A and B are shown apart, each in its own frame.
Chain A
């Protein structure tokens, strides 16, 4: 992720399901790719075979925000799930609760995880049911998700550091390498018996 994200404004897709696992978001057959791009056709691959699926509805291709039920992104650690959502055009996902690994992957790749409470997400679903074309606005700095045409604005939760990373578009490795001296010092003090592929034979010393 190189570019910071302040504001997201656009159409939304409402996916009223809970426990959406990463096998649904991007089926395993797509994981043979060695690139970070080209996953859009595989997004919700099996569910898109149903012509009535929300991603097949008019306007979905322009959507920037996905609104979903609780425990979104559970299951496999595949970051490909985040890449597929981004490749399709989504810049934020709203859910009452994200699976831990998926949330981390979102921050890593710059997809905004908008964790709002159940009531707020229900209100978003209701507003989108009434007006599927409504614009949804995610303000990362203010930690709000809004549908201005419905007079709706709800707070969401994101850790300070994750918010800062998204706003600034920072590279985690570069941030960590500021602590390289501490890493080297730590390494010098590690227990001698810890396994290493290089020092396997020396472990008996």
Chain B
């Protein structure tokens, strides 16, 4: 039988395939956070239902937690009430909660892999679109809405119509200075914001195999920005080495049995995909977004594009509208754009490897005068590990703020926001209008470019500073 990785993972989770209805898929891991769960728990209780598998449900606090002053009560009353609700819901239903202040608290998509909860061949869901991150392990992982959260809490299953399978094949080798973030921004530029709608993407090719697990997570994380709900990468030795010894990874004889199973989770020779695109890794350059969606990016060596240069009228209108919002002129060199704020963090680029890349650039240098620069580690453990290596000193001595873990300025729910008209270089995943605060202007970049930009005061590559 010639199967695709996606089919293999899909098929092993089929609980029922009723005639004329979507399939019923079993959920191996349900991740929960404070923002998209309260209405789901309420619905469950109103219907007199219980959480079917609290042991397969793991919760944390990330979206609206403060990243400073953790020793004080949370000042934002609405956020405090939402966080208290999660605590209460988890206690009532027997769900493990990595609460604010605990050593495993952090962004839901950082802690799952860190704890070894995200494993090859699993289904992982969460009320968050960046659940696609866990696909880096060869899992089928995707974001769901709150009504679906309630459905998973009650039944440990989801009703799903099988999507198409798309192959994104990245041949060749990434050049020095090009990161996983630059690669995924390049892929999204090729795909367009809606190009992946209706599909699950499998990332394939030599450049994907060469990525670290952290790099693979960055790529899978942003899959949703191209419209596909899930991105997957077949597990290999890199995956197994990352997992081995982690808290929830199988141990002893169970590890050997799991490994034998995981090695079969590859797309068979000759299997065909419904859609396919190819990307040449050698052409990837450090990318900077200029517009208001993640498909609108160029190389740092480029200039802001002329809206007239786009093929279709809707694209031209969209580009024009984006330039107006971003207060940019066509033809301006990307390196000539000055920034007010630099944000390093998020589920896209808030892992230890990301912080190392950024620290490497800022070590012994100073943040440019007038630029606010902050690092928000993806989890409490990332923070502790970074401090053990002295990365916090690299950042603080350069003039960065060193914060505690959370989603923070990626979506600006916790008070870490841009002021109207402020411009940021951000390692997060969305440059939508107002994403980092009303009127804020976001440019998405890699950790290394964010760090160099903080030093230069305008967009810069590490080699420039």
Contacts and interface: CB of A to CB of B under 8 A. Distances in A.
Interface of A: 17-19, 21, 23-24, 27-29, 31-36, 45-46, 69-71, 74-80, 82, 97-101, 104-105, 108-109, 159-161, 171-173, 175-177, 179-180, 182-183, 186-187, 190-200, 203-205
A108 B58 CA distance: 23
Closest 8 CB pairs of A and B: A108-B147, A198-B55, A193-B250, A105-B145, A79-B145, A32-B78, A204-B251, A71-B194
Interface in B358-394: none
B411 A173 contact: no
Contacts of A196: 55-56
A173 B47 contact: yes
Nearest to B436: A28
Given A70-B314, A97-B197, A204 B430 contact: no
Given A19-B293, A186-B26, A193-B254, 4 more contacts: A80-B146, A183-B26, A183-B157, A203-B254
30 contacts: A23-B430, A23-B432, A31-B36, A34-B38, A46-B438, A75-B225, A77-B129, A78-B145, A79-B146, A101-B142, A104-B145, A159-B22, A160-B20, A161-B20, A161-B22, A173-B47, A173-B150, A176-B151, A177-B155, A179-B15, A180-B155, A183-B157, A186-B15, A191-B257, A192-B254, A193-B250, A194-B28, A195-B28, A199-B55, A205-B252
Contact of A35 (B39, B225, B430): B39
A193 B258 contact: yes
A18 B314 CA distance: 7
Interface of B: 15-16, 18, 20-22, 24, 26, 28-29, 35-36, 38-39, 42, 47, 49, 52-58, 63-64, 76, 78-79, 81-82, 85, 96, 116-117, 119, 122, 127-129, 142-148, 150-151, 154-157, 159, 161, 163, 193-194, 197-198, 224-225, 227-229, 247-252, 254-255, 257-258, 261, 293, 314, 318, 321, 411-413, 430, 432-435, 438-439
A182 B47 CA distance: 22
B184 to A, nearest CB: 16
A34 B16 contact: no
Nearest to A110: B147
B154 A173 contact: yes
A19 B197 CA distance: 12
Contacts of A191: 257-258, 261
A77 B147 contact: no
A176 B258 contact: no
Nearest to A100: B229
Contacts of B161: 159, 161
Given A101-B143, A101-B229, A197-B58, A179 B148 contact: no
Contacts of B227: 71, 74, 99-100
Given A70-B314, A75-B432, A108-B148, A183 B28 contact: no
Nearest to B252: A204
B194 A70 contact: yes
A97 B150 contact: no
Contact of A77 (B47, B127, B197): B127
B255 A193 contact: yes
Contacts of A104: 144-145, 148
B16 A179 contact: yes
B33 to A, nearest CB: 11
Contacts of B250: 193, 203-204
A108 to B, nearest CB: 4
A176 B159 contact: yes
B36 A77 contact: yes
Given A46-B433, A75-B432, A32 B193 contact: no
A71 B195 CA distance: 9
A157 to B, nearest CB: 12
B247 A200 contact: yes
Contacts of B258: 191, 193
A21 B80 CA distance: 27
B18 A179 contact: yes
A18 to B, nearest CB: 5
For A108, A176, A205, the residue with the greatest tally of chain B CB atoms inside 10 Å of its CB is: A176
Nearest to B420: A46
A195 B246 CA distance: 11
Contacts of B413: 28-29, 31-32
B38 A78 contact: no
B36 A78 contact: yes
Contacts of B119: 194-195
Nearest to A105: B145
Contacts of A108: 145, 147-148
Contacts of A78: 35-36, 145
Contacts of B151: 172-173, 176
Contacts of A171: 47
Given A46-B438, A179-B18, A195-B116, A34 B254 contact: no
A19 B82 CA distance: 30
